[in-house]
Structure 1
Amino acid sequence: MIRRAGLRYPNADLRRLDLVCERGLDQELIAQLSGCGFIERKQNVVFQGFTGSGKSYLGCALAKQACQHRIRAHYIRMPDLAEAWALAKDKSHGTTTFLKKYAAFTLLVIDEWLLDHPDEAMRSMLLELLERRYGNGSTVFCTQYAQKDWHQRLGSGVHADAIMDRIVHNTIWVETGSYNMREHTAMNEQ
């Protein structure tokens, strides 16, 4: 299950997080998430913080933990999701197949959430995907952007309202801080 989840960091592990205190991570919350109860409750998780703060690692570690609990999980970067959507639109029944596939994962990790502004077609797809997932699965969003910036990045219209409505009311928010873990790792390897 872990191999099929497509994790960017397959060795990620919630039990081996570096510099938890320095990063301001809530150890109790991380321990609660590792039990995967949020998935049973169909809650979402947002890892929000600066570049290099470990959002992707945490998302992969959570997906790996889910797999170890025999829960079907999948990791994808937002740019790759957009590319898969563009390819699906060119195929007969491609959009239906695409939406069924990504709605079916019990846990879906979307990394680099809102890194780029989604166009109208992408916003429509996100609304449909999140509508299908709402109450049926959990989604992890890894993002640099605070919730206050999401509406504008989603185009500020009705789609933005609807997408956010399916995320923000049932979500656990985790600040990953500003400590750059890539820089820390690079310094320790020298």
Structure 2
Amino acid sequence: MSRLDSETKRKLREMGISALVDAIDIQDDALTMGMVFEERIKLAVDDAHAAFTHAKVEGLIRRAGLRYPNADLRRVDLLEQRGLDRGVIAQLGTCQFISRQQNVVFQGFTGSGKSYLGSALAKQACQHRYRAHYIRMPDLEETWAAAKDKPAGMEKWLRKYSTFTLLVIDE
């Protein structure tokens, strides 16, 4: 049973804090009965923040346009013949190369997993709350050619692609 009346819930939702209302609603009375007010609020805020963070990360991943949206650096096949170093993959997973403004280039034969690695890295960046975007080079060239033909198109094109913290360009 929620401790908030419907008018208080309406006001909180109007303020854009519906996740907090939901978190308070799902609190189990049996578990929170002996807790002081501050502890109950802390639990509710923690739950609401977790829901907010999850939704934000999922939105970043969805808008990144990943070729492999389920790609995960933890599931990369590190077979010896592929020449992938577990330490390098782990270091890339920290996304420190982004804050250092460094580039990462994956080279390999067709079918070696470059696109998957790029998607996994972009997804990891989204989980670190960086704005990432995945695009194939032919598509990037096509948008550039179309932008050149429009007034102020090149400026808009540059502005669009400069907003991404991580830009994955696939062959």
> Shorter-chain-normalised TM-score: which range?
0.5 to 0.7
Residue 70 of structure 1, aligned match among 89, 111, 129: 129
Provide the TM-score with structure 2 as the length reference. 0.64
Q: Which amino acid aligns with 1:59?
A: G
Structure 1 residue 10 corresponds to structure 2 residue 69 = yes
Larger displacement relative to structure 2 (99-108 or 72-81): 99-108
Are residue 57 (structure 1) and residue 144 (structure 2) matched?
Answer: no
* Aligned residue in 2 for 1:42: 101
Residues 85 and 98 of structure 1 are in contact (CA less than 8 Å); yes or no, is this contact kept in structure 2?
A: yes
Deviation at 1:103, TM superposition (A): 1.6
Deviations 1:70-112 (A, max 9, x none): 0000011000001101111122211100011112211000100
Shift of 1:18: 2.0
Structure 1 segment 1-190 matched on structure 2, within 5 A: 1-112=60-171
For residues 65 and 20 of structure 1, the distance between their equivalents in structure 2, rounded to whole angstroms, comes to 21
Within 1, Cα distance between the matches of 2:88 and 2:78?
15
Task: Tell me which structure has the larger Cα radius of gyration.
Answer: 2
Give the Cα–Cα distance (whole angstroms) in 2 for the partners of residues 20 and 43 of structure 1. Answer: 26
Work out whether residues 20 and 27 of structure 1, in 8 Å CA contact, stay in contact via their aligned partners in 2.
no
- 3-state SS of 2:161 partner: helix
CA contact (8 A) 1:75 1:111 kept: yes
Cα deviations across residues 55-80 of structure 1 (Å, max 9, x unaligned)? 01000100000000000000110000
Are the aligned partners of 2:78 and 2:85 in contact in 1 as well (CA < 8 Å)?
no
1:92 maps to a residue whose letter is P
Between the aligned partners of 2:77 and 2:117, the Cα distance in structure 1 is 11
Which one has the bigger helix percentage?
2
Deviations 1:90-145 (A, max 9, x none): 22211100011112211000100xxxxxxxxxxxxxxxxxxxxxxxxxxxxxxxxx
| Structure 2 residues without counterparts, runs of 5 or longer | 1-59
Q: Which amino acid in structure 2 is aligned with residue 14 of structure 1?
A: L
Amino acid at match of 2:127: Q
Q: Distance in 1 between matches of 2:160 and 2:121?
A: 20
Residue-pair matches, total: 112
* SS, match of residue 143 in structure 2: helix
Distance 1:57 1:93 in 2: 34
TM-score by length of 1: 0.57
Q: Which has the larger share of strand?
A: 1
Contiguous gaps of at least 5 residues in structure 1: 113-190
Q: Distance in 1 between matches of 2:122 and 2:76?
A: 15
